Amino acid sequence: MDMDGPQIHAQLITECYNAMRRRKILKRTSRRQKLGIGAVLLLAIATIVSLWLQESKFESGTAYVTRVIDGDTIELANGERVRYIGIDTPERGQPFYEVAKRFNAQLVEGKHVELEFDVQQRDKYGRLLAYVYVEHNGKRVFVNAELIKQGYALAYTVPPNVKYADEFVRLQRTARHQGLGLWSEARERTASDVYIGNSRTRVFHRPECPHAARLSPKHRVTFKSRNDALDANYHPCRRCKP
């Protein structure tokens, strides 16, 4: 099997470590020396991971979707998973989870899609972050935007990927006013007098939420209504569900 640069470096580190164990070098070293060796190995591994991420960057282009994971995540033919930028759909067990997943599948599953990237190309889980486009019923559809437009996703901005943030908030406002999808349920939600936002995470909470109670004053933002928070591009807390 052919190996790329990072894989070769990783193998060399592993072989070096095993050789030290075989020769009982580690047994003769002090605890402090062992910690030092461990730190060096961890640094080397971190460097390898960084190199791998750099070498595995994608160029914008087309890819084939083999599976839809949920409303905002897909899997490509090469095994890569793609998380849609700028949106958030319901998690498993939440209302509209299946509806959002099914709508996403109708748009992209078993089709070639076009991927567009922003500033940050991968998240902390190693997934690609992309804006996704597909030909559907003879039209070019911007999938991220369409999910918000139909009320199946919330606008969810995570800097530095903010290219279409304003457009997503505008589409969300329209879907909310029309009571589409998630917003049909929102009309029945009990309102609070005020909502507390976190300017660092851009998440807003009910006042009684434990997360709001622990919020630092310098990051604390008060909204008079849920809609004010949403229009400011804040995302509802998944715990208190404002």
> Any idea which residues carry the catalytic annotation?
83, 91, 127
Burial class (CB in 10 A: 0-12, 13-18, 19+), 170: middle
Q: How far apart are CA 215 and CA 196, in angstroms?
A: 9
Q: How far apart are CA 145 and CA 131, in angstroms?
A: 9
Six token digits for residue 161:
């990927």
Q: In angstroms, what CA-CA distances link 218 with 160, 221, 229, 235? A: 21, 8, 17, 19
Residue of 203, 232, 226 lying closest to 215 (CA atoms): 203
Q: In angstroms, what CA-CA distances link 84 with 51, 88, 135, 210? A: 24, 8, 17, 29
Q: In angstroms, what CA-CA distances link 150 with 42, 80, 89? A: 46, 27, 12
Q: How far apart are CA 66 and CA 43, in angstroms?
A: 36
Q: List, in order, residues 6 or more apart from 167 with CB less than 8 Å away.
A: 145
Q: List, in order, residues 6 or more apart from 216 with CB less than 8 Å away.
A: none
